[in-house]
Amino acid sequence: MPDIQSRRFNRLPWLGLPMVLVAGVVEMVSASESATLPFPASDREAILAMTGTYDIDFSFFETVRYQPDYEHAEEKLTGGSEWVVVVEDSADKISLQHILVDPKSGYVTKHWRQDWVYEADTRFEFRTDQTWRVRELSDAETSGKWTQCVYEVSDAPRYCGTGKWIHEDGASTWTSDTTWRPLPRREYTTREDYNVMEAINRHTIVADGWTHEQDNLKVQIGENGERHVIVREYGFNDYRDENEVDFTPAEEYWAATKDFWAQVRTRWGDYLDQPPGLVMLIGEDGMDMIMPLFEMAASVQEGETVYGAEIDAVFSDWLDRASAE
């Protein structure tokens, strides 16, 4: 089972004091130390409360039709069991990695990652055609706010959003601004009528877990920037505390491969930490990068050595820097 401390941490979202992870153990921060934080302690507390072990329901259904002849797509309902673990916890950044486990087989899949940066200087933004541009943010855009950036299984970029945490009514909620993302994995093989998901994301921490809501618009952006809205979609991902599933395989996988994935994140950072951004020279499924990186991670888990040059080759084959605007 995962470190019991991670589950205990999930039970401490309303104490009004920040917490830190020291050698895997949750420790309270004193009032004097709290005073030195550049952000409200309750913000950090809420983000770290997303760590732990969860049973998840993923649901997506279309609502408002913007085109009279459009037929609603079938509702998407899936689920899973997931361990969320801290990757980084520094002065103004918190990074959380999600790892899926099949309860029956114990099969592990490295899933998505979410990075949170307080008053971020930049963020990447999707621009269609497998292009993400890095944009500098103004003080007005980021003052008192957290920027969340989301990455897919290969640590490739998905989207960023910026907003404030609000703590009231026994819950903590963060709501993003409106940003673009590429088609979700559940649809890029079946849909050709839109090329951008325009979304507002909302994370809410509650007593027995947390939720991720999505207010989505499916939009076709034309070659000259013209905008054609197809349909509105609502997404609701419900993370409920799970204590029965054996997450040991996820712990073992991450212990064996986390240093490898740190190297991968460094390569992505070379493109995403400053303008202009990147262009992915691959299809929307991303498999040209996902497969070799996952195969390398499997080799590392088996005790084999993967050299930095092998990782570099994957990036040089399938990425290019975005052109200057």
Q: What is the pLDDT of residue 34?
A: 55
51 vs 325 pLDDT, higher one:
51
Distance between CA atoms of residues 3 and 240, nearest Å: 17
pLDDT in tens, 139-183: 999 999 999 999 999 999 999 999 999 999 999 999 999 999 999
pLDDT at 10 exceeding the cut of 70: no
pLDDT at 12 exceeding the cut of 50: no
For tokens 């770290």, name the residue.
Answer: 48
Q: 219: which DSSP letter?
A: E
pLDDT in tens, 247-285: 999 999 999 999 999 999 999 999 999 999 999 999 888
For the whole model, what pTM was predicted? 0.90
- Burial pattern 180-211, b for ≥16 Cβ within 10 A else e, equals bbbbbeebeeeeeebbbbbbbbbbbbbeebbb
Q: What is the pLDDT of residue 7?
A: 38
189 vs 8 pLDDT, higher one:
189
Strand order in the sheet with 131-136: 122-126, 131-136, 277-280, 319-321
The confidence band for 15, taking pLDDT boundaries of 50, 70 and 90, is very low
The confidence band for 39, taking pLDDT boundaries of 50, 70 and 90, is confident
Domain extents in the chain:
4-321
The confidence band for 325, taking pLDDT boundaries of 50, 70 and 90, is confident
Instruction: Report whether 55 contacts 210 (CB < 8 A).
Output: no
Q: What is the pLDDT of residue 35?
A: 55
Average pLDDT over all residues of the chain: 90
Q: Please tell me the least confidently modeled range out of 24-28, 59-63, 98-102.
A: 24-28
pLDDT in tens, 182-231: 999 889 888 999 999 999 999 999 999 999 999 999 999 999 999 999 99
Distance between CA atoms of residues 83 and 241, nearest Å: 10
Average pLDDT of the segment spanning 66-82 = 96
